[in-house]
Amino acid sequence: MDQVLRYIDRNKDRFLQELKRLIAIPSVSTNPEYKQDIKRCAQWIADHLSLIGMEKTKIYPTKGNPIIYSDWLQASGKPTILFYGHYDVQPAEPLNRWTSPPFQATVRGQNLFGRGATDDKGQIFIHFKCIEAYLKTMGKLPINLKILLEGEEEIGGKNLSKFIEQQKKLLKADLVLISDTAFFAKGVPSICYGLRGNVFMRVELRGPNRDLHSGSFGGSIHNPIQALAAMIAQLHDADGHVAIAGFYDDVRQLTRLERDTYRKLPWNDKRYARDLGVKQLYGERGFTTLERLWTRPTLECNGIWGGHTGEEARGLLPQKASANISMRLVPDQNPKKIAKLFETHLRKLVPKTVSVAIRCLTMAEPTITAIDSPGVRVAVVALKMAFGKDPLFQRDGGSIPIVNRFKQILRLDSVLLGFGLPDANEHAPNEFINLGNFFRGIRTVAYFYDELPKYLKNRGKNDL
């Protein structure tokens, strides 16, 4: 183990240079213009996996973006980890709000800034470098390892689910390991045991059959922007509750233990508001911020557009107005049911002067992992060894839809061993990964590999 850790320490600079090269490939999945970069990124990673010593690596083309599979299976009799990650990234726009170029990763202070630095290139690279450290020093891993990487995570692509269905045998393992979540705070190692699900909807409101001059027609025709605004305004009540009938019916109530636990966490509303630059927080009356984020479903308008959005005055009464609206779900809400409730509710709000088109873009179920499963137990040990303190258990407001697929299709629990930070700007300008978390993350994974077989030997492998 010492050899592995020394290897990591000796090669820090090179590891960072390599990560910068991975970030430099703009594998943006939300925009078809980057198709070639997506392919190039998959090839770069496959080559890199061969380079660090993985036995078998294959790129599987799909109807969308390629899937990368790789394995090292020489640890006979030892458990098998299925590591999942994604190599696609969010778009970098608006570019003018990045301090350094998004695809030229740059170190400032203790952070490496670049698109994908945390979500998820930096985090999959933590695993790559741990594997390399083992194979280049010991010539072997303490566990069997299968790696599964997709390029459609940021667009909720369906191709990975199909692949898992088709490749159940190839993907057979004892547990799933994922690094796509964040610590509770800097210096506070954490394990995520619950994720919100989601439903993404698109709403288009149509008014007149063409764009009209707002002088010549204004006052006689309902403006679809105004109609849409009025509808959106009716999706929350004055207390911040989502106003869709039946929306909260299946929400699992917090246990007293959970409530008490969350209220003891080191949290400061004022600091949170100050960090985000808002004068006042917002949310459902009757819940704390952490409860709102982790345990309550929400509805957000992710985007709105319609009419003339340019700098100059232009008298337009537009033909249509649109919005991207998503809901975050908690156990035991069902995304399909929520999508229907949303549509039913919205149709009731549409005035007779306009018409509506509603479409569901993607959805994911909420998830909670048992915190006493062996994978989570070993993660606790590994984090403590690497960071020198007990990790805390938290939930996350985001969604990792694939966690449910692993459970449903492969019957596998996922361990969410993420090394991000809550202010790491995933999905926004100036995304970064903290270098301390990056390097200690490599150590954490090394300890995890080392401890997992020991723990299982003591408990008997059937407990897994």
Residue list 364-423, contact with its own copies (CB under 8 A) = 396-399, 422
* Segment 22 to 51, residues that bind its own copies, using CB under 8 A: 29-31
* Segment 99 to 158, residues that bind its own copies, using CB under 8 A: 154-156
Identity (one letter) of the amino acid at 34? Y
Peptide bond into 372 cis (omega under 30): no
Q: Is 217 in the site for its own copies (CB under 8 A)?
A: yes
Question: Which range in 44-52, 246-254, 309-317, 379-387 contacts its own copies by CB under 8 A?
Answer: 309-317
Q: Is 188 helix (H, G, I), strand (E, B) or coil?
A: strand
Structure tokens at 395: 């939930």
Q: Is 90 in the site for its own copies (CB under 8 A)?
A: yes
CA atoms of 286 and 426, how far apart (whole Å): 29
Closest approach of Cβ 366 to its own copies, in Å? 11
Q: For 96, which DSSP code?
A: G
Task: Check if the beta carbon of residue 100 is closer than 8 Å to that of residue 108.
Answer: yes
Question: Judging by DSSP bridges, how do beta strands 67-72 and 144-150 pair with one another?
Answer: antiparallel
Q: Is 361 in the site for its own copies (CB under 8 A)?
A: yes
* Segment 425 to 444, residues that bind its own copies, using CB under 8 A: 425-430
Q: Is 146 helix (H, G, I), strand (E, B) or coil?
A: strand
Q: Is 213 in the site for its own copies (CB under 8 A)?
A: yes
* Segment 271 to 300, residues that bind its own copies, using CB under 8 A: 272, 276-284, 289, 292-293, 296, 298, 300
Under 8 Å CB-to-CB from 276, ≥6 apart: which residues?
Answer: none
Closest approach of Cβ 43 to its own copies, in Å? 23
Name which position in 79, 207, 418, 453 contacts its own copies (CB under 8 A).
207
User: Binding mask 328-347 vs its own copies (x if CB under 8 A, - otherwise)?
Assistant: x-------------------
Q: Is 348 in the site for its own copies (CB under 8 A)?
A: no
Q: Is 349 in the site for its own copies (CB under 8 A)?
A: no
DSSP per-residue codes, 39-87: HHHHHHHHHHHHHTT-SEEEEE--SSS-EEEEEE---TTS-EEEEEEE-
- Which helix (H) or strand (E) covers residue 232, if one does? helix 224-233
Q: Is 235 in the site for its own copies (CB under 8 A)?
A: yes
Q: Any idea what the Cα angle at residue 315 is, between residues 313 and 320, rounded to 5°?
A: 115
Closest approach of Cβ 146 to its own copies, in Å? 27
Q: Is 78 in the site for its own copies (CB under 8 A)?
A: no
Closest approach of Cβ 9 to its own copies, in Å? 32
* Segment 240 to 269, residues that bind its own copies, using CB under 8 A: none
Of the two residues 222 and 407, which places its CB atom closer to its own copies in the complex? 222
Size of the site for its own copies (CB under 8 A): 97
Task: Check if the beta carbon of residue 68 is closer than 8 Å to that of residue 57.
Answer: yes
> Own/partner pairs for 270-273, CB < 8 Å, 24+ apart?
none
Tell me how far CA of residue 287 lies from CA of 164, 256, 345, 444, in angstroms. 38, 13, 25, 34
Closest approach of Cβ 318 to its own copies, in Å? 7
Q: Is 462 in the site for its own copies (CB under 8 A)?
A: no
Closest approach of Cβ 188 to its own copies, in Å? 16
* Segment 166 to 205, residues that bind its own copies, using CB under 8 A: 182, 196, 198, 200
